[in-house]
Structure 1
Amino acid sequence: MSDIQERVAAELAEPLASLGLDIEAVEITPAGKRRVLRVAVDKDGGVTLDDVADATRLVNTVLDDSDVMGERPYTLEVTSRGVDRPLTLPRHWRRNAGRLVKVVTAEGETVVGRITGSDDDSATVEVAGTPRRVGYAEVKRALVQIEFNPEKDD
C-alpha cells in the first residue's frame, strides 16, 4: 500500500469499526484530472446495502474533516470485499465458513474443499469428506469458489 493509502486506512479504521466494519482494502487510482478512492469493507455476517450507505456517509464526513486526500478532487466508492479477493487473514476464513475454497499451498499443491472451521493459525477444509488442517503460513493463495448450486444442509 502507498503512503497515502495507509494514511487513509489509518484515518478510517476507528470510525468504521464503530459501525462494526473492517477495512479490507484502500485503492486510489487516477481517473483523468480526478482520482477514484475505493474503500472495501467487511464484517461478520456480511455487508448489506445499508452498511455500505452508512459507511459511505461516514467516510465522506471523516475525509471532509481531514487533509489526508489533499486538494486534488476524487470520487469515493465504498464497496463490500467481494468474492474475488483472496483469503489472507483469519477473519476472512471465519467469515467464509461453509463456503467452497480453492487453496494453493506454498509447495504448489492445489486443495479444493469446504471451510468447516478456523482459528488464528489455520483453517479446517473438508476435502472429499476428509477434514484437512491448512495452516495460513502454508497458503500461497486461497480464493472462495463461486457455486451456482451450493450444497444444502439437510
Structure 2
Amino acid sequence: MLIGMAFPSSEKISELIAHILDSHHLDEESIKVNRAGAKSAVIIAVDADDRPDLDKLEVVSGDISDALDAAEANGEVNFGAGYTLELSTPGVDTPLTATRHWRRNRGRKVAVTVADRTSFYRIGALNDAETSAILITREGKKLQVVEHELASEAKAVVEIEFANVPADEQALAELTYDEAITWREENK
C-alpha cells in the first residue's frame, strides 16, 4: 500500500468504471463511497432499459472489482485496508429524476407530489422529444389522460402495487403519446 494516494471519491470511481458500464449497456444511477474502519464500502447502483438480472450484475461486479483493484495496484487510488463492493439496481423508492426513469417505469403506478399535494397516476408513453409523459388517472370510474412535463418541479416515486393493473389503465399506458392525446380528446 502506498501512503500518498488519495482515498477515491465517487467521481473517481465513476471515471474508473465508466467504460465497464458502457460495455454492458448500463447507466450509473448512483455511487457512494463510505470510508469506514477496516474495510470501506463502494456502493454502486446501475440500471438499463432491459433491467439487468443477477447473472449480469455478477459479471459486471467482477469487472468493476478487477478495475478497482488494478487502479489501486497502479497507484491511482488507495482503499486503505480494503473495500467491499456492493452492486445493485435502484430500489423502487428511488425518485424518478431522469427521462430514462420515466421510460423504464411505463405502465407502473407513480405518486407525483407538487407543493405538498400528492396525486397517483399510471405512467404512459413519453413524447418523441422525451420532455413530457402521459399520466393516466381515474376520477371515479372515468379514466383521464394528462400530460406531465418532466422538467417540472414535481417529485415522483413509483408505488408498489399488489393488485393486478386494471385492463383499461394498462391499455392506455400502452398507447403511444399521440394516441393517448387523441384518446383524451375523443373521451372528454
How is 1:29-44 mapped onto 2 (pairs within 5 angstroms)? 29-44=34-49
Tell me the equivalent position of 2:145: 131
TM, length-normalised to structure 2:
0.73
Tell me the equivalent position of 1:54: 59
Question: Greater shift after overlay, 75-84 or 114-123?
Answer: 114-123
1:152: Cα distance to partner? Answer: 5.5
| Runs of 4 or more above 6 Å deviation | none
Which is greater in Rg? 2
Tell me the equivalent position of 1:86: 95
Q: CA RMSD in A?
A: 1.9
Whether the 8 Å CA contact 1:112–1:127 is kept in 2: the answer is: yes
Structure 2 stretches lacking a partner, 5+ long: 1-7, 172-188
Cα separation, 1, equivalents of 2:26 and 2:53: 11
3-state SS in 2 of match to 1:38 = strand
**Does 2:75 correspond to 1:75?**
no
Share of identical aligned residues, percent? 32
Whether the 8 Å CA contact 1:16–1:58 is kept in 2: the answer is: no
Cα separation, 2, equivalents of 1:142 and 1:10: 29
Whether the 8 Å CA contact 2:41–2:84 is kept in 1: the answer is: yes
- Which letter maps to 2:123? I
How is 1:7-26 mapped onto 2 (pairs within 5 angstroms)? 7-26=12-31
1:125: Cα distance to partner? Answer: 0.9
1:135: Cα distance to partner? Answer: 1.0
- Which letter maps to 2:135? V
Cα separation, 2, equivalents of 1:7 and 1:150: 43
Larger relative strand fraction: 1
Change (3 A) 1:51 1:139: farther
- Which letter maps to 1:130? Q
1:71: Cα distance to partner? Answer: 3.7
3-state SS in 2 of match to 1:7 = helix
Q: How many residues align?
A: 151
Structure 1 stretches lacking a partner, 5+ long: none
Question: Greater shift after overlay, 65-74 or 20-29?
Answer: 65-74
Whether the 8 Å CA contact 2:40–2:79 is kept in 1: the answer is: no
Cα deviation 1:19-49 (Å, max 9, x = unaligned): 1111111011233232111111101121200
Tell me the equivalent position of 1:116: 124
Question: Greater shift after overlay, 114-123 or 66-75?
Answer: 66-75
